[in-house]
């Protein structure tokens, strides 16, 4: 495992994050000192990855407190609740956002005291709990998931579900970091992940930093590699998992799951319980974010298509439960059919 997690977020009397749109060229730290800045950082993918979005939003509620601390207690609580709803509207698919903000909201709702400092302490405490829960989940996912990795394996991953997407060692990449620490010798294929290239920009950067042998491929090359017996295991992350195990993750995940199923390659989803939405029966009910057409039409600000090209840009797709071999969670590796009995 990495010696230290990457720390894409930290709280030091204020909220600081790494601007992931600038990676791998440079590491820029942003101070998010207004709720509007937190919202925009999420919307513009400066911070991204379901667990990280959840943790940033938890601290985002403290940013709201600081911005409004001179209001009366009643107005302060009202404004924080409004800001929580505003933050919830930043990205619709990642469940961790709602998981964290609902927990923060409960602190505001149940606080009946008069002391604003006490409210601040309780909010900070809850944000830290959410943060620590994520760190612990990543660690456990790594420990359980590394058992699937054997010497000589070629593992395929999609998007970035590493340290940059969480506050810990990642979800899909955590088993890889633990297996490396255990001295196993293996190799990772990294899908570039069009349109925003989280694989090429972020996963490749993380693996390189951690000296893990990897090869970058375009998304459409996975089938060819599978057909040539070059992939033994697939591990991806998740943005929201429905009660029946249907899983939303970065667009392109479903295609890999179909390919893996056809080639009889195990396909695992690594995710903490904060990504499981037990209020949703199946994947059809998961809201899928559609993003700006320029993400598809431009690379590095330059058009790669006719300017007027019509574009469809869903950020996620849903992989049905029957294509998933298992879920690597902090509670162990679970079969899709077990998920519905673990709710809550």
The set of catalytic residues is 239
148 closest CA partner among 301, 328, 330 = 328
Comparing CB distances to ligand MRU, the nearer of 50 and 108 is 50
In the complex, minimum distance from the CB of residue 173 to ligand MRU, in angstroms, rounded to a whole number: 8
Backbone angles phi, psi at 47, to 5 degrees: -120, 140
Minimal CB distance residue for ligand MRU: 237
Comparing CB distances to ligand MRU, the nearer of 73 and 334 is 334
In the complex, minimum distance from the CB of residue 159 to ligand MRU, in angstroms, rounded to a whole number: 4
In the complex, minimum distance from the CB of residue 67 to ligand MRU, in angstroms, rounded to a whole number: 25
Q: Are 268 and 325 in contact (CB under 8 A)?
A: yes
Q: Are 147 and 180 in contact (CB under 8 A)?
A: no
In the complex, minimum distance from the CB of residue 104 to ligand MRU, in angstroms, rounded to a whole number: 20
User: What would the two tokens of residue 89 be?
Assistant: 């509207």
Distances in whole angstroms, Cα of residue 31 to Cα of each of 41, 157, 166, 244? 10, 31, 18, 39
What is the rounded distance in angstroms from the CA atom of residue 230 to the CA atom of residue 187? 10
Footprint on this chain of ligand MRU (rule: CB under 6 A): 45, 48-51, 94, 159, 161, 165-166, 170-171, 198, 237-239, 249-250, 315
User: What would the two tokens of residue 61 be?
Assistant: 């509620």
Comparing CB distances to ligand MRU, the nearer of 54 and 336 is 54
Comparing CB distances to ligand MRU, the nearer of 49 and 336 is 49
In the complex, minimum distance from the CB of residue 148 to ligand MRU, in angstroms, rounded to a whole number: 17
Comparing CB distances to ligand MRU, the nearer of 179 and 235 is 235
Q: Write out the E strands in the chain.
A: 9-11, 15-18, 29-31, 154-157, 187-191, 214-217, 233-236, 240-242, 247-250, 267-270, 276-277, 298-299, 302-303, 316-319, 326-329, 332-334
What is the rounded distance in angstroms from the CA atom of residue 164 to the CA atom of residue 322? 29
Distances in whole angstroms, Cα of residue 56 to Cα of each of 18, 39, 52, 159? 11, 10, 6, 20
């Amino acid at each position: 495992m990495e010696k230290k997690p990457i720390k894409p977020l930290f709280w030091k009397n204020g909220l600081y994050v790494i601007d992931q749109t600038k990676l791998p060229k440079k590491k820029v730290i942003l101070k998010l000192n207004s709720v509007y800045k937190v919202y925009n950082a999420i919307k513009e993918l400066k911070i991204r990855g379901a667990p990280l979005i959840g943790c940033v939003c938890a601290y985002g509620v403290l940013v709201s407190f600081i911005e409004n601390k001179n209001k009366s207690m009643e107005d302060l609580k009202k404004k924080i609740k409004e800001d929580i709803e505003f933050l919830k509207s930043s990205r619709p698919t990642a469940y961790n956002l709602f998981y964290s903000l609902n927990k923060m909201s409960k602190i505001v709702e149940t606080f009946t005291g008069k002391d604003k400092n006490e409210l601040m302490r309780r909010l900070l405490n809850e944000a830290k709990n959410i943060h620590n829960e994520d760190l612990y989940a990543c660690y456990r996912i790594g420990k359980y998931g590394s058992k699937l990795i054997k010497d000589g394996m070629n593992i395929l991953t999609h998007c970035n579900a590493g340290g940059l997407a969480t506050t810990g060692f990642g979800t899909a990449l955590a088993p890889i970091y633990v297996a490396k620490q255990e001295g196993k010798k293996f190799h990772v294929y990294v899908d570039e992940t069009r349109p925003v290239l989280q694989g090429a920009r972020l996963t490749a950067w993380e693996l390189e930093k951690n000296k893990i042998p990897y090869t970058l491929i375009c998304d459409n090359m996975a089938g060819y590699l599978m057909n040539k017996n070059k992939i033994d295991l697939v591990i991806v992350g998740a943005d929201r998992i429905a009660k029946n195990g249907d899983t939303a993750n970065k667009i392109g995940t479903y295609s890999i799951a179909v390919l893996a199923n056809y080639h009889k390659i195990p396909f695992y989803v690594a995710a903490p319980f904060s990504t499981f939405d037990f209020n949703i029966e199946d994947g059809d009910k998961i809201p899928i974010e559609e993003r700006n057409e320029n993400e598809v039409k431009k690379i590095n600000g330059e058009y790669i298509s006719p300017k007027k090209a019509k574009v469809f840009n869903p950020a996620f797709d849903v992989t049905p439960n029957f294509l998933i071999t298992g879920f690597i969670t902090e509670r162990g590796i679970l079969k899709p059919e077990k998920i519905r009995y673990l709710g809550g």
